[in-house]
Every structure is written in structure tokens, then in C-alpha cells.
Amino acid sequence: MRRFLVRVVTLAAAATSLAAPAAPSTAAAVQGLAFRPLSYNTNGYNWGGYAAQGSGFSSVSASWTEPAATCNSTNDLYAPWVGIDGYGSSSVEQTGVATDCSSGSPVNQAWYEMYPAAPVYLSLSSYPVSAGDHISASVTYAGSSRYTLKLTDSSKGWTYTTTKSTSAQRTSAEVIIESPTGAYPDFGTLNFTSATVNGKSLGSFSPVALDPSSSSGYEATTSGLGSGGTSFSETFLQE
């Protein structure tokens, strides 16, 4: 499959206050940053993964094993997530797991976001995530401007589901890694599996491939889609 490297002129971003139920000071919420649409990113081209383009997207889902990350600096922050919108639109409906290094050590925290509303970080005690855990995430359009976001950690035995309302275009669907700070921790290789859009393989939509980069070069590389079009990997290169 032919791969494309996408570079987008970015806009300055303002920090947002977060709705963070029971989030301790070592959690990702400390960063005060949203996971934003691609055109609003501020530190290089910091989306990696695949984005399907079109209209009327109704669902996206994927699974991964949460990597063991190594912090390079206290500025490191990234998340694998799935979402609808954000590639060419000003909203994103998304959920995933953020890894934050602001405490000096990696802290994994489940979250969802209905951008431009602030991200919501889930309680570390009620919804813990550890390296090596198997994560499944999905976003589904439920009709009447409602979206159901679901995140499961089958290793820990929990599932979080919420339904939120927003006005959105539904013109893209993504399986992505993103760093709002433009600084990735060393996550090694992250393998996405079972990646589907509208109940079909991600590859059915000829999605655009993105490699995150900064002024110092590419931060990670996105593999081609595996056979069946439902799997790919992200490999860390540098912060």
C-alpha cells in the first residue's frame, strides 16, 4: 500500500482546564492539554497512524497492548486513541489511554474527549491501566448528534462507556497516536489490531498514513497495513 506523509500548518493552542474525576497530581491531567484536531496541533506534525476520509462515518474501533514507556523528559506525553472527525474538521470524538511523564515517571490514564470540550480523565483507582494491559477502544455514532465512547481494559477487567452529544461532521475516522506536547516518551513499538471503520477493515477506506515529526525529524514511523487491513504498528524513533 502506498503511504503518504502528511504535513499540516498548525495553529497556536491554548491550554484547557480539565474535567478530571479523582485525578491525582501525577496524572496526565496535570499537563492541561487537549488531544486536538490535526490542524490545531502546535508542535510539529504530531499525529501518527491512519485516517480514513469521506462522509457519514458511524463507528471506529481498534485494540492494542499498552506499551511500557520510558520517559525522556517531564514534557513527554502521548496517547494511542480511536476517534471520529479531527482530520480536516474542527471537532474530535475520541477515547484512549494517555501516558504522561510530568512526574518524572510514566503514568497511564484512561480518558475520552469530545473536542472542543475539555478531555475527561478517568480515576486511576477505578480504571487503572498498566503496561502490558490489553486495551480495546471504540467510538460509535448513536444518532441525533450522540456518540457512544467505550474503553475496555480486559487485563484489569473494567469497561467504561459514556454517551455524549455534540455537533460534528463525521468526515473522518482515525486510529492514531498523538503527543499534544510534541514530545513522545520511548514507547518502543505499539501494535494496533482489529482496526475497523463502519464495521469494515480500516484498509477498506484507503486511509491516509501519517508519521509524527518535529523540527528534529521524525518521532515515530507508521507501518503499512497488515493483511486484511486491520493491523499496523507505530515504532518510536526519537523524542
Residues 24-33: tens digit of each pLDDT: 444 556 677 8
Assessment of whether the complete model's pTM goes beyond 0.85: yes
Give the pLDDT confidence score for residue 192 in this predicted structure. Answer: 98
| Stretch among 40-49, 52-61, 171-180, 200-209 having the lowest mean pLDDT | 40-49
Q: In which residue are the cell numbers 475497523 written?
A: 196
**pLDDT per residue as tens digits for the range 2-30:** 344 443 333 333 333 333 333 344 455 66
The mean pLDDT of 107-136, rounded to a whole number, is 96
The mean pLDDT of 58-79, rounded to a whole number, is 97
Residue 126 has a CB neighbour count (10 Å cut-off) of: 11
**pLDDT per residue as tens digits for the range 153-201:** 999 999 999 999 999 999 999 999 999 999 999 999 999 999 999 999 9
Domains of the chain: 28-236 (2.60.120.700)
- Residue 107 near residue 99 (C-beta atoms within 8 A): yes
* CA distances for 209 relative to 39, 51, 148, 221, angstroms: 16, 7, 26, 10
**pLDDT per residue as tens digits for the range 88-115:** 999 999 999 999 999 999 999 999 999 9
Give the pLDDT confidence score for residue 30 in this predicted structure. Answer: 64
* CA distances for 7 relative to 32, 116, 178, 212, angstroms: 25, 22, 14, 9
